[in-house]
Amino acid sequence: MKSTRPKPPMSARKPSSRPRHQNNSSKDPVQVYCRVRPMQYPTDISCMNIINDQAIVITPPESSTNFRNANSKEIQTIFSKVFPPETPQSEVFNIVALPLVDNLIHGKNGLLFTYGVTGSGKTYTMTGDVNDGGIMPRCLDVIFNSISNYQAKKFVFKPDRLNGFDVQSETDAMLDRQTEMHAGLTTPRNVKGRIKRQDSDNDSNGLASRSPDESQALSVEQDNVYSVFITYVEIYNNSVYDLLDDEDPRGKPMQSKIVREDGNKNMYVHAVTELEVKSAEEAFDVFQRGQRKRRVAHTALNAESSRSHSVFTIRLVQGPLDCDGENIIQDKRVICISQLSLVDLAGSERTNRTKNTGQRLREAGNINNSLMTLRSCLEILRENQTQGTSKIVPYRDSKLTHLFKNYFDGEGRVRMVVCVNPRADDYDETIQVMKFAEMTQEVQVARPTVSKLDLGFTPGRRQANKIFKEARSRLEKEGKADAADLDVDIGLVYSLGGPFPQLDINNPHSDNIITSLMQYLEQRINKRNLLRCDLEKKQTEFRKMLLSMEQENITYRVENASLKACNAQQKKKLTALEGHVCKTETQIDSLLRKLNNANETIKTLQQELRDRDLALNQRLVDKQKVKQKYNSKIQLETDKMNRELEMKLRQQRQHLQSQMKDKDEKLRLVKRILVDSDDNDNINSNDIRIQSKEQTPMNNNDNKEMINGQNATSGDFLLRSRRDKIPVANLRHRRSQSADRWVDHRPGAMVPIGTVLQPLMRRRRSITRLTSPKEIVDGASRYCLMAQEQDTDGELETKLYKGDILPTSGGGAQVVFNDVECLKQLSPTGRRKRSGIQDNNKDFPDKELSNAENKRPRV
C-alpha cells in the first residue's frame, strides 16, 4: 500500500533498518474497505478521484493546510475494496459482512466497525433506512434465514451472567416462558438523559416497517440447535452503558458498566442485558429500544451527530442433539458460542469546525481520545509484528480498545469500513482517516480456530428422526393401532461419514496426504463394520420378534374360539332378559297411570284448601277496616275538643295581657310626671344652651364620661338633662392661671413647622401618655388640639384649637374651646396666585403680617 504521507526527495531518504515483514500463513491482515459518500450539494467541490476498485487519489485543495505549506502533491491510497457513491447497500454487505456472518454460523467471532469523520455516512452504512437496509439488518436477515428450521425453544439456553450460557431442561424453559408471558401481560415496558435522545417517532430510521430479505441463506449444521442473543451498549465519555436496561427509570442517568475478563480470557461487559430473539423483526425491536437511549446531539457538521460509540453484538449459541436426534445434550461444555460485533464509531472531528462548547466539547475530547488510543494500540501491534518487539499494547487506556482486545489478539476476524466525504472542506480530517486506514491494513490478526468437542455421533440423526416421525404419523393416519408404540432404532439410517476429502497429490513424497487418506479409509471401514454388526444384531432381534408374534397369533386364535362360544351363550341370556324387561315395562306403565290419578286428586284438594284460606283472610281484612274507621272517628272528636279548649285559653290569656298593659301605662305616666318635676327644680333652661356629643360609658359600672365637642360660633359647652344621661359640667370650677397645665393633642402624621411661631405651653403633657379620664381632671386644666391642612392657595396651614378642661358631675371631663390660632408660612418674595389677595392687602395694610402673629395664645 502506498503511503498517504508525501515522500521526501531521494537524497533525503534514509535506508530503512526495519526487517521486511514475513508473511505468515496463520495470520491475515485487517481488511479495510472505503466507501465514498455522494456529494450533498451540487456546488460542493470534490478532492477525491477513484482510479479503480482498490485505489483513490486525493488532491489537496487550496484551503487545506498541506496546500498552504507548499506540499500539494496528489496522494494515492489503496484499500481492499473501494465502493463508489452509487454502490448499493447489498453489494457492501455481500463483500464486507457476509463472510463474517458465515464465520459466525460456523462458530468463529468477527468484528466490523465503521470509521470516519462526522457526517461521512457511518451510521447509514451500518443501519441504512426503511427502503435500503444497512449491514446490521441484513446480517440479522441472513442469520434467521439460515437457522429458521433449527432454532431451539426460548430459554433452553440461558445466560449465566459470566459471558457463558447454561443448558436448561424443557420443564425449566417452559416455566421461564410462562413467567415472561405473565410479566409481559402485567408490567408494561419502561423505556430519557441530560442530552438529546433520539425520538421514538424516528423508529431508528424506519427499520420497524421494513420487510425482511429472505433471499439469502447460508448452510448450517443440521444436527445442532441455535439461539440468537442480542446486546447493545454504548461507550460515552469513556464509560460503558447498557442501552437495553429496562430497570433504568426515565429521567435518571444510566449506570455505567464494567468491562471484565471471563474464565476463557475473553473480554465482556459485566451484568449487561442479553435478550434472546427469535426473528429479525424482534431483533429490530430490541435495536430500536436501545437506539432511543443512544446519545446524539446537534453539531455544526451534522444535525444528529453520534456522541458515543455504539456496539451491537449478535451472539449465536449452538448445541448438538443427542444420538437420537431428539433432544439437546444437557452439558454446558458441548455448546459453541460465537459473536459478531457491529461497531458504529463516533465521528472524529476538530472542534474549530464543529463549534462545540461545554458538554459537546467534552464529548468530542473523549471521542478523539478513544480513537487515538485505538490508533496507538494498532501502531504498537504493527511494530511488534514487523520489528519483533514485545511492547505492551495499551488496551486498558480506553474502554473501546479494552472491550475488543480479544479480536486483535486472534480471537476473530477484524474488518473496517472507512467512510469518507469527498468534499474539499473535509480534506484535513479525511487525510487523517486515510493515514489511520493505511496503518490498520499493516496489522496482522491470527486466524480464529474453532474447537468443537467431537461426541462421536454420526451426522444426519435429525433428518433420520424426522423421517421416523413422519412414518409413524402416517401409520397412525392409516389406522394402525400399534403405531404409537412402535420403537425403531434409526441407527441404520446413518451414513458412513462425511464426504470424501479432496486430495491433490502433486508430489510423490507427500506422505502426510497418503497417511491422512489411510486414516480416513480405516475410519470408514471401522464404521462400516460397526454398522454391519449392528445390522446382524437387528436381524436376529427381528427374527425373534417374528417368532414371538407367531406364538401370540396362535394364542389369540384359541382365545377367539372360546370367546365365540361364550358369545352364543350370552345371546341366549340376552333374549330371556329382553322378555322380562317387556313385562316389567308393562307394570311400570300401569303404576304410572295410578300415580297420575293420585296427583290430580292432590291438586284438587290443595285448590279447595287455598279457597278456604282466602275466605278466612277476607273476614279478617273486613274486621280490620271497621276497626280503623271507628278509630279515625274517635281521633277527629278528640282533635275538635282540644282545639276548642285551646281557643278558650287563648282568649283568657289575651284579656289578662290587655289588663297588664293598662297598668303598665299608668305606672309609666306616673314616673314621667315625677321625673319632669325634678328636672324643673334643678335646671334653668332659659340661661343655658346645650351643645355636646354623647359618649357611652366605658363599663357598665363606670359613669365617667368625656365630651370633646367644638362650637363654631361661640365655643361654649352647655349641659343636658339627666333624662338623656349626659354628664353636667361644674361651671363653678375654676383654677388659677398660674397653675394651668396643658394637654397637648397632636396627630401622628404632622409636618414639622420649623418656625418660632409655636404655642407657648410651659407645662404640657401629651395625650398619648394619658391612660384614663381621671388623669385629665387631676393633672391638667387646658387643652390644645393641633391640625394641619392646605388653604385655598395651596399653602400649609396649622391650626391650634384651645380650650378649658372642666370636670363633670359624673366624675369625667369635658373641654370648652374658646380660642383658635392659625399659623401660616409665607414667602416675602413669592408672587400672589390671585389678584384678590393683593387687593385685600392694599385695603388692609395691617394684614400683611401673619394671622398667627396677630392671634397669639392667651396663656
Average pLDDT of the chain? 76
Residue 245, pLDDT above cutoff 60: yes
List binding-site positions: 116-123
Domain ranges of the chain: 32-60+83-446, 461-493, 706-854
Strand, helix or coil for residue 163 = coil
- Answer whether 30's CB lies under 8 Å from 443's CB: yes
* Most confident listed range (206-215, 479-488, 658-667, 691-700): 658-667
Mean pLDDT of 425-440: 87
Q: Give the angle 463-466-471 at the CA atoms, nearest 5°.
A: 130
Q: Is the pLDDT of residue 470 over 60?
A: yes
Burial (CB count <10 Å: 0-12, 13-18, 19+), residue 612 = exposed
The pLDDT assigned to 693 comes to 35
pLDDT of residue 12: 32
Q: What is the pLDDT of residue 591?
A: 94
Q: From CA 250, how far away is CA 192, in angstroms rounded? A: 5
Higher pLDDT, residue 122 or 449: 122
pLDDT at 377: 92
Residue 528 has a pLDDT of 83
What pLDDT does 577 receive?
93
| Chain segment 779-796, per-residue pLDDT in tens | 677 888 888 887 777 677
Of the ranges 79-83, 91-95, 269-273, 771-775, which one carries the lowest mean pLDDT score? 771-775
Cell of 327: 433432544
Residue pair 122/347 in contact (Cβ under 8 Å)? The answer is yes
Residue 559: what pLDDT?
Answer: 92
Among the listed ranges 25-29, 184-188, 320-324, 671-675, which one has the minimum average pLDDT value?
A: 184-188
Res 317 pLDDT > 90: yes
What pLDDT does residue 737 have? 56
Q: Would you say residue 303 has pLDDT above 50?
A: no
Provide the pLDDT confidence category of residue 520 given band limits of 50, 70 and 90.
confident
- DSSP classification of residue 40: S
Q: Which has more confidence, 805 or 296? A: 805
Tell me the per-residue pLDDT of 126-167, one tens digit each, with 9 for 90 and over. Answer: 998 888 889 999 999 999 999 988 999 999 999 988 889 999
Model confidence pLDDT, tens digit, residues 161-208: 888 999 998 889 999 889 888 876 555 444 333 333 344 344 445 555
Residue 7 pLDDT exceeds 50: no
**SS3 track for 693-735:** CCCCCCCCCCCCCEEECCCCCCCCCCCCCHHHCCCCECCCCCC
Please give the residue that has the higher pLDDT: either 70 or 630.
630
pLDDT the model gives residue 529: 87
| pLDDT range class, residue 114, cuts 50, 70, 90 | very high
CB count, 10 Å around CB of 455?
Answer: 13
- Does 627 score more than 80 pLDDT? yes
Highest-confidence segment of 428-437, 570-579, 766-775, 821-830: 570-579
CATH code: domain 706-854 is: 2.60.40.4330
What pLDDT shows up at residue 456?
64
Q: Which CATH number fits domain 32-60+83-446: 3.40.50.2020, 3.90.79.10, 3.30.499.10, 3.40.850.10?
A: 3.40.850.10
Letter for the amino acid at 178?
Q
Which pLDDT does position 699 carry in this prediction? 37
Residues 137, 284 contacting (CB under 8 angstroms):
yes
Hey, what amino acid is at 667? L
Name the percent of the chain lying above pLDDT 90: 29
The answer to whether the beta carbons of residues 697 and 703 sit under 8 Å apart is yes
Q: Quick one: average pLDDT of 33-61?
A: 89
Query: In the beta sheet, which residues pair with residue 790?
Result: 796
Q: What gap in Å lies between CA 691 and CA 420, rounded to an integer?
A: 110
What percentage of the chain carries pLDDT values higher than 70? 70
Read off the pLDDT of residues 528-555 as tens digits, 9 standing for 90 and up.
888 888 889 889 999 999 999 999 999 9
* Residue 63 to residue 45: CA distance in whole angstroms: 12
* 312 neighbors 342 (Cβ within 8 angstroms): yes
Averaged pLDDT, 248-258 = 73
Could you give the C-alpha distances from 477 to 463, 471, 472, 480, in angstroms and in order?
Answer: 21, 10, 9, 8
Q: What is the pLDDT of residue 485?
A: 56
Identify the pLDDT of residue 685.
Answer: 39
Summarize the annotated binding site for ATP as residue ranges. 116-123
Cell of 322: 443427542
Instruction: DSSP letter for 21, please.
Output: P
Q: What is the pLDDT of residue 276?
A: 94
CB-CB contact of 381 with 408 (8 Å)? yes
- pLDDT band at residue 710 using 50, 70 and 90 as cut-offs: very low
C-alpha–C-alpha distance, residues 587 and 359, integer Å: 105
| Confidence (pLDDT) at 743 | 81
Long-range contacts formed by 475-480: CB under 8 A, 24+ apart: none
Q: Residue range 4-33: average pLDDT?
A: 51
**Residue 19 pLDDT > 50:** no
Burial profile 227-261: b = 16 or more Cβ within 10 angstroms, e = fewer: bbbbbbbbbbbbebbbbbbeebeeeeebeebebee
Q: Is the confidence at residue 706, as pLDDT, over 60?
A: no
